[in-house]
Amino acid sequence: METVEKPYYVEVPASLNPEQQKMMMELEKDAFPGVGAIDEQTLVPLARYGKIIQYRQENDPRPIAVCEVMRDYHDIHKAYIFGYYVRSDQQGKGIGKLFFNEIFPILKKDGFKKACLTVSMKNTAAVKVYEKVGFEVKETRLNEFGAGEDRYYMECIIS
């Protein structure tokens, strides 16, 4: 019987060296042009005290998708997805949905029962992906990240 290899795999770094930080910041700027890209002051604590989940493809030095997760301080069973993106050259291939199929078991194993995130109301493609994997819009937050930065707050039960 022939073994079929998965085209993608998950990696969860516990820390990031300066070279990895630089690469992640470049991916952040690509994913969140203008406003929203994070730097090493946020990436390092996320890797050490939160979780950065990377979706990778063999022979590609950069992750094709990234999920940055924190635990909700007020509800320890809720994961806050701080950042979620598919690299721009990999979009439109169904990777966003596939990646969530890998993320949810990791979050469940970590003791989470629910996941939440915010997304720009203008980012209709992301909203559709989130809804397809089970997220629901729970509220609209006006000026969440400053004037004009309106966001949907979405939640999903992890089963």
Q: Tens digit of pLDDT for each residue in 30-54?
A: 888 877 778 888 888 999 999 999 9
Residues facing 71 on adjacent strands: 79
Q: What is the mean pLDDT of the chain?
A: 91
Helix (H) or strand (E) holding 77: strand 75-86
pLDDT tier for residue 1 given thresholds of 50, 70 and 90: low
Q: Tens digit of pLDDT for each residue in 114-158?
A: 999 999 999 999 999 999 999 999 999 999 888 888 999 999 999
Task: Map residue 94 onto helix, strand or coil.
Answer: coil
Structure-token match 């990791």, residue found:
106
C-alpha dist (Å) from residue 64 to 31, 33, 71, 89, 99: 11, 17, 24, 8, 10
d(CA 78, CA 26): 29
Structure tokens at 154: 């979405």
Q: Model pTM?
A: 0.89
- Tell me what pLDDT residue 112 has: 97
Question: Is the predicted pLDDT of residue 13 greater than 60, yes or no?
Answer: yes
Q: Rounded mean pLDDT of 16-36?
A: 88
- Tell me what pLDDT residue 34 has: 72
Question: Is the predicted pLDDT of residue 83 greater than 80, yes or no?
Answer: yes
Q: Rounded mean pLDDT of 10-15?
A: 93
d(CA 35, CA 46): 19
Q: Tens digit of pLDDT for each residue in 59-82?
A: 999 999 999 999 999 999 999 999
Q: Spell out the domains of the chain, with CATH numbers in brackets.
A: 8-157 (3.40.630.30)
